[in-house]
Structure 1
Amino acid sequence: MHRTTVVSALALTTSLLTAAPASAGTPAAPGTGTGWEPAPTAPFDAVAGARCDFPIHAEPVVDEVVQKVLATHSDGSPSEIAYRGALVIRVTNTDTGAFHDADASGSALVDYHTDGSQRWHAVGPVLAGIGEHDSNLPRGEQLIDGIYTLDISATRYKTLHMIHGSTDNVCTRIG
């Protein structure tokens, strides 16, 4: 079955941020009746060498991301969540104060597997924190933009499958 993705991620934001939005692991609570609920992105810090050669702090300056649970596993946990909405994350070099506002307002349909792995079907920009030897991408705070899938294994290894697009290491912008 082929799906057309028209929804938003975050983080893949907790910078994909460790690969998922802060509330991605919990089903949306009943609310407005539309099924779309807020999916706030948590701020985070990374020590020098983890992602950039210097310590960073990241936090949303615009966060209008919402989520909708589309399917659940037999235990009631989400198996498929759609994300959409504006997200701008300020990434700051805490040694110098230099910062970059990364537009991570992409859309994603995320499949959550029972072993803890995930598959992101994404369109548009998403910010992904990548550690040394944690991905087929180089270490950094990577802004991934385009049409792609991102597989996140149960051990948190991230594999980008770019269909069309680019990556931009935000560390180089604030270093």
Structure 2
Amino acid sequence: MRRTALTTLAVTALLLGAQSASAAPQATPEATFEGAREATREAATGWEPAPSAPWDVAAGVRCDFPVHGEPVVDEVTRRVLSTHPDGSVHRVAYRGDLVVRVTNTDTGAAYDADAGGSAIVEHRRDGSQLWAVHGPVLVGVGEGQGSLPRGLYIVDGVYTMDISPAGYKDVRLLHGTADDLCARIG
């Protein structure tokens, strides 16, 4: 899980109160200035935040039980690479750390899934999408709606995902793995 493991541990420690406020490192003026300068640099290159929203899926849709997903680390940014003649997005690049806590809401079992891969997503006129991905991405597949069985997966490696206008997800791994999150929290 690259550097996201350290970030997740730091966030968890702060949320659980493992470190008192007086022991927490204070931001120096130099660090604040550097953070602002980095944000300005990102904006100047066209990268913008692309936050993920929490979500819920009913039992039987992805897993045999209801599932809740919520980002615990979300540093994903996006950059529009090209647009269609009408101005709508054609090609978009995504990058940045993302850790999603996936929870079985029946039992409370949870797993923090590293979904911080990078991708180029092509949005086609017919509503379909082609994803070219490097690294882990969270992929949900409905019954009969993909080349993977129904479920929630962290697909990691180098691969493409072709999503039809109807939502069918054809995942083609060049080199990688598909980690079944339903089995992890079931």
* TM-score (normalizing by structure 1): 0.82
CA shift for structure 1 position 102 = 0.4
Match of 2:88 in 1: 77
Q: Distance between the aligned counterparts of 1:79 and 1:35, measured in 2?
A: 15
Higher Cα Rg, which structure: 2
Opposite residue 135 of structure 2, the aligned amino acid is G
Q: Distance between the aligned counterparts of 1:58 and 1:165, measured in 2?
A: 23
CA shift for structure 1 position 32 = 2.2
Q: Where do residues 40-59 of structure 1 align in structure 2 (5 Å cutoff)?
A: 40-59=51-70
Aligned residue pairs, count: 145
Match of 2:146 in 1: 135
If asked which structure has higher relative contact order (CA below 8 Å, sep 6+), I would say 1
Instruction: Return 5+ residue gaps in structure 2 as ranges.
Output: 1-41
Q: Distance between the aligned counterparts of 2:180 and 2:144, measured in 1?
A: 16
Deviating runs (4+, > 3 A) in structure 1? none
Instruction: Return 5+ residue gaps in structure 1 as ranges.
Output: 1-30
Structure with the larger helix share: 2
CA shift for structure 1 position 34 = 1.6
* TM-score (normalizing by structure 2): 0.77
Give the alignment partner of residue 157 of structure 1, picking from 150, 154, 168: 168
RMSD: 0.8
Match of 1:116 in 2: 127
**How big is each residue's C-alpha offset from its partner over 1:110-150, in whole Å with a ceiling of 9 and x where there is no partner?**
10001110000000000011111010101111110000000
Give the alignment partner of residue 172 of structure 1, picking from 172, 180, 183: 183
Give the alignment partner of residue 90 of structure 1, picking from 88, 101, 104: 101
